[in-house]
Amino acid sequence: MAGTGILILVIIGLFILANAIRILREYERGVIFRLGRLMGTRGPGLIFLIPIVDRMVRVSLRVVTMDVPAQDVITRDNVSVKVNAVIYFRVIDANKAIVQVEDFLYATSMISQTTLRSVLGQVELDDLLAKREKINEQLAKIIDDQTEPWGIKVSVVEVKNVDLPENMQRAIARQAEAERERRAKVIHAEGEYQASEKLAAAAEIIGKTPVGIQLRFLSTLAEVATEKNSTIIFPVPIDLFTPFMKKFAKEEGESKS
């Protein structure tokens, strides 16, 4: 009987000791309640509790990555889109995260969804597509301000996907195509303008030297002669015959005199 009693006492002692000792990892903290009263935060390492009297709630201080489900949003210019996001946050005050809110993960998710709908409903579609970084910063600031009383620090909010209606996708594609055509026409016009300036400058220089015109004409003939053509038709500039015409006129005048 005595041996049985000692065995029971040993089992009870081991049970009490097992409930009195906790080991917390480096990224964990334990929020201690003693008879329902908050006693503070302990950890990491070995923690001793008073059995039955103390209760500990583990809290992880690591960064949490949470997907915000796709939300139906009507933008400022009345376009209906589906937008989802991802939020990165961590607990910086374990006491507040346990005492101030019932479930800080669920609460953060809900406040992220409502803020996403509220903020994106105030921007136009073009801004939503083009100014993503600015919108992300605005979302992070608003959510962080609302979760700060819970001991939660929101570091990053990123809008992931913006799903547009099919008709809006076609309209954007047509707009992009028209923009590309406009740029192509502008570039072509600028090229024509620059080429005309160069040609005008070249014509002005050549026009000052009649010999230059002849050299250019002969150069053109040499280029054409390299091609395998059976028949070549080319204009002859009147300036090429000007010296001969002057000489002929001079000789004719001398003969009459």
Confidence of residue 251 (pLDDT cuts 50, 70, 90): low
Per residue in 48-83, pLDDT (tens digit) is 888 888 899 999 999 999 999 988 888 888 888 899
Domains of the chain: residue spans and CATH:
15-59 (no CATH), 64-169 (3.30.479.30), 205-256 (no CATH)
Most confident of 2-6, 17-21, 55-59: 55-59
pLDDT at 51 (0 to 100): 83
Overall average pLDDT of the 116-124 stretch: 91
pLDDT at 214 (0 to 100): 63
Query: What percent of the chain clears pLDDT 70, i.e. is strictly above it?
Result: 75
The answer on pLDDT for 114 being more than 90 is: yes
The answer on pLDDT for 8 being more than 80 is: no
Confidence of residue 26 (pLDDT cuts 50, 70, 90): very high
pLDDT at 204 (0 to 100): 73
Overall average pLDDT of the 191-215 stretch: 72
The answer on pLDDT for 106 being more than 90 is: yes
Provide the mean pLDDT of the chain: 82
pLDDT at 127 (0 to 100): 86
Q: Cβ contacts of residue 28 below 8 Å, gap of 6+?
A: 43, 44, 58, 59, 60, 61
pLDDT at 129 (0 to 100): 84
The answer on pLDDT for 16 being more than 80 is: no
Report the amino acid identity of residue 51: P
Helices (H), 90-236: 94-99, 104-120, 125-130, 132-147, 166-207, 210-225
CB 73 within 8 A of CB 80: yes
The answer on pLDDT for 202 being more than 80 is: no
pLDDT at 139 (0 to 100): 94
The answer on pLDDT for 216 being more than 80 is: no
Q: Which long-range contacts (CB under 8 A, 24 or more apart) does 52-59 make?
A: 52/19, 56/22, 56/30, 56/31, 56/32, 57/30, 57/31, 57/33, 57/98, 58/24, 58/28, 58/29, 58/30, 59/28, 59/29, 59/30, 59/31, 59/91, 59/94, 59/97, 59/98
Confidence of residue 18 (pLDDT cuts 50, 70, 90): confident
The answer on pLDDT for 174 being more than 90 is: no
Residue by residue, DSSP assigns 188-224 as: HHHHHHHHHHHHHHHHHHHHT-HHHHHHHHHHHHHHH
pLDDT at 148 (0 to 100): 94
Per residue in 223-247, pLDDT (tens digit) is 666 666 556 665 665 665 666 666 6
